[in-house]
Amino acid sequence: MRQLEVENQLRDLVSRIIVQVELATSQGRTDINLALEDAFIPILKSVYNLPHLVNLNRKQKNFPGIDLGDDHDRVSFQITSTTTLDKVKSTVQQFMDRAYYNTFDELYVLMLARKQSSYSQASVNELLTDQFAFNCKKHIIDLGDILGLVAGLRLAAQERVLLEFKRILGEVEAYISFSSESIAPPTAITSNLQMIRLPEAVYVAELTIDDKKVIAQGTAKLGYKGQARGRKSVVKMALLLNDVETDAWVCHDNKLFSFRDIEQCGLISVVDAGSVERLSISDLANSDEIDNVNILKQLLSAETREMLKQRHVRMHNMEGFFYFVPSEEGQRERRETWIGKRTAIRRVFEVKYQRKDPSKVAHQKHFSFDLTFTKLGDDWYSQIVPNWYYSYDSGYRQSRWHDELLSAQKRLEHNSTVRNAVRFLAYFLRGMSKSKEEDDHGLRFLSLLEFNVQDADEAEPVGDDEEDIQVAGGNAA
């Protein structure tokens, strides 16, 4: 049942985020909240119904006392990884001293780690006046409380929140990897962050499709059945009706965005040709508007999806992860050669047969991975999280035994295997970029980010036994 799957994934993601935040704070990295202010906006918008919620630090650098605010519905948030009463009192004190109650009626303190079992309301009351009320039980929240609110949303909204939590986990793990430079030698760290080079430009144009007409034509010509799931589905259908199969685009606010020159490709068939505009990549990458940054991240994912198609790697339509498929029809096993310090071979796809009846397929095993994109400092990175996907019907449908098979795989995981898996994927993605011309100005995957490396092996050859022992997520060792 999809509802149960989403709820289980949400619980797992939230638990992993909490553990990572607590790990970071135990190591003195209490500023992790700064990396997550923007990331929580879509979730808080959904669960508290705050369409105008923004990052106040975008309006004023280091906005004192609070981080997010919706001055239309008059609700504000402080996001912190510190869970002490003193932190709550400090936040409330600044709120009162700066008379934020003239703009906001409510203040929530969102704790990224587990909040304490109780907080002294009497101590907080000493800071309040008749102009503002703060209830410790209501207004001090953590991710467990957010999870409870998400449970009350419709399934479609829960699925959107699930994707946001996946991005947040990526941001947390990226932050921890990026801020690990202080670890003393001789520790060798290979992160799962791969530097990328952004394209030079983004093209945008106004969509001109008639949704009802497109759906009617899609039903007649493409055999489409059912209702279109959002504008993206309608745009995709319109492109297919024009024999355009590319996924390297994003639609937002009745506009089509792409790294490809819209006037020089099939995308021109669904837009107003006179409205095509070329933007510098910095217009999105350095924008103060969270929507612009999110468009860029979606474009990076869409462009990667299109590039990986050529290498026989698909994106799962529902979950958004990538997985290897056969490179030719009838293939029962696929292996990829890669080079670290030495040449190695990794199995990325295999047909598994039933033990009782070897003539029947039990399931198909796909090497898979999640990619999220994040900006650290002035540079952009993709974060690689290796995994496995078990399917039948060539990967389109998940095996009914997927969870059990994946759990068995997790019990076999160890650090060197994760490290090799991440390095293999980085090599594969980098090779995908190398296939382009040197003067190409598109997306490129570059090198993995490493810290304090001291003569660590680049990548050891992986035998058949070891390559099957992979980690279903987590940081690179």
- Model confidence pLDDT, tens digit, residues 148-163: 999 888 888 898 898 8
**pLDDT higher than 60, residue 471:** no
Q: Could you read off the pLDDT of 335-357 as tens digits, one per residue? A: 999 987 788 899 999 999 998 89
A 10 A CB-CB count for 129 gives 8
Q: Which residues of 386-412 are buried (b: 16+ CB within 10 A; e: fewer)?
A: bbbbbbbeebeebbeebeebbeebeee
**pLDDT higher than 50, residue 439:** no
**pLDDT higher than 50, residue 459:** no
CB 428 within 8 A of CB 194: no
Confidence of residue 222 (pLDDT cuts 50, 70, 90): confident
For residues 298 and 276, give the distance between their C-alpha atoms in angstroms, rounded to a whole number.
19
Q: Which amino acid is at 87?
A: K
Confidence of residue 433 (pLDDT cuts 50, 70, 90): low
pTM of the model: 0.61
Least confident of 18-22, 35-39, 81-85, 222-226: 222-226
Q: What is the residue extent of each domain of the chain?
A: 2-182, 187-198+308-477, 201-280
The pLDDT of residue 455 = 38
Q: Could you read off the pLDDT of 38-49 as tens digits, one per residue? A: 788 999 999 999
- At which residue do the structure tokens 């099957």 appear? 468
For residues 313 and 431, give the distance between their C-alpha atoms in angstroms, rounded to a whole number.
14
Q: Print the SS3 string covering 225-280.
A: CCCCCCHHHHHHHHHHHCCCCCCCCEEECCEEEECCCHHHCHHHHHECHHHCEEEE
The pLDDT of residue 186 = 42
**pLDDT higher than 60, residue 451:** no
**Residues 331, 333, 334, 335, CA torsion sign:** negative
For residues 276 and 270, give the distance between their C-alpha atoms in angstroms, rounded to a whole number.
11
The pLDDT of residue 472 = 35
More confident: 27 or 221: 221
Q: How many residues belong to the chain?
A: 477
